[in-house]
Amino acid sequence: MPGFELFGDLERKHVNDVLDNGVLMRYGFDGMRNGYWKAKELESEIEKTFGVEHAQLVSSGTAAVSVALASAGIGAGDEVIMPTFTFVASFEAIMMVGATPILVDIDDTLTLDPEAVKNAITPKTKAVMVVHMCGSMANLNALKSICDTHKLTLIEDACQAIGGTYNNRALGSIGDLGCFSFDFVKTITCGEGGAVITNNKDFYTNSDHYSDHGHDHVGNDRGAETHPFLGYNFRISELNAAVGLAQIQRLSEFLEIQKKNYTVLRNALSQIPEVTFRTVPEGGEESYAFLNFFLPDLETSRRASKALKEAGVDGCFHYYDNNWHYVRKWDHLKSATSLYPVSNEVKEGLAYLSEKDFSQSDHFIGRNISALIKLSWTEEEVKDRAQRMVEAITSAIN
């Protein structure tokens, strides 16, 4: 990742199709299109690629999570369980629909700990949002069993793990709803874009309408469409979809490169006795977008992170001190700081964060470094990077 590293003729071809007909909007203007419907084509490709019945394109991964929540009827008075390690978009989307994010610990998969999820369920719990961070997945069998037992909606945020699989099923396709991001630094990119996937016809219909101001999309006269319920504008453009259409047709190519480069780096780091790797649940295969490894303790990881930077090894993230991806630095969430008033119910619902102990998550994130896998590296560059990583990490340990 990311897919922009390998832009080529196919991306240009699909974009030029849109520029030639001049229709940048995904809906309407039928007579001008010359038969090109890039968003519809991309939705069909997503359905085939990930083995689902329905796909709805939206404007971003954040929009995908927001639309998924709304499509499942989640809102005011509801609680949504989510991990301490994710992107800020997870709790932003939950709060946007008026629900309360309930953060719980991760385990050595770097994703939701099923036991922590069970312990967090209350009568207000409506959904569990599992986030497949940095290319790999949670124990989905355990989480699905919990959701089935308690009649909860399981939402998969697979924005950072597109192409990964669990028991031979695509990540994103296993829960009630799945979410993808196609932003500029994802394995396949539209520049900006995202998708909701599902096998539930009602959820799909809701997402289709909700993401376009509530339009029902019946007939071919946009002005005559009705609005069964309120919606918002989360539409993708034809230009973005055109780029994504080319990229998804190249997904297997990208995944093969990621796996090859990941394997070289992992084999090299495996020589260091103090290095261990994140747990991938039985039956799972990563997307190989990141190589995630643990060092013995927090201070060693901090030294290693600094040493890697000094060695010129970019794209290695120690998320314990990161502002965007880990609960420690989410002060604006803990204080419910917003440009507009947050409901008293949500404010009161977030009060637990001021005293909540996330030491289990600290134990894993404090020791973890996530190394980005690039598509554009040459074979020599990967070997050189592996050597420099080994030297930097070894120096931090000794």
User: So which residues are the catalytic ones?
Assistant: 186
Kind of pairing between the strands at 177-181 and 153-157:
parallel
Residue whose token pair is 């103090």: 274
CA–CA gap between residue 309 and residue 66 (Å, rounded): 35
* All residues at 6 or more sequence positions from 120 whose CB lies less than 8 Å from its CB, including other chains: 81, 102, 104
Give bridge partners of residue 101 from the DSSP assignment: 80
If we measure between CA atoms, which residue out of 71, 97, 74 comes closest to residue 205?
Answer: 71
CA–CA gap between residue 116 and residue 333 (Å, rounded): 20
Neighbours of 21 (CB within 10 A): 15
What does 100-163 look like in DSSP terms, one character per residue?
EEEEE-B-TTSSB-HHHHHHH--TTEEEEEEE-GGG----HHHHHHHHHHHT-EEEEE-TT-TT
CA–CA gap between residue 136 and residue 129 (Å, rounded): 15
122: which 2 tokens?
Answer: 């209350």
67: which 2 tokens?
Answer: 């639309």
If we measure between CA atoms, which residue out of 182, 195, 127 comes closest to residue 155?
Answer: 127
Query: Which runs of consecutive H residues, i.e. helices, occur in the chain?
Result: 9-21, 38-50, 61-71, 89-96, 114-120, 140-150, 201-210, 238-248, 251-269, 298-310, 331-334, 344-349, 359-365, 379-397
Residue whose token pair is 């303790």: 297
If we measure between CA atoms, which residue out of 191, 195, 161 comes closest to residue 178?
Answer: 195
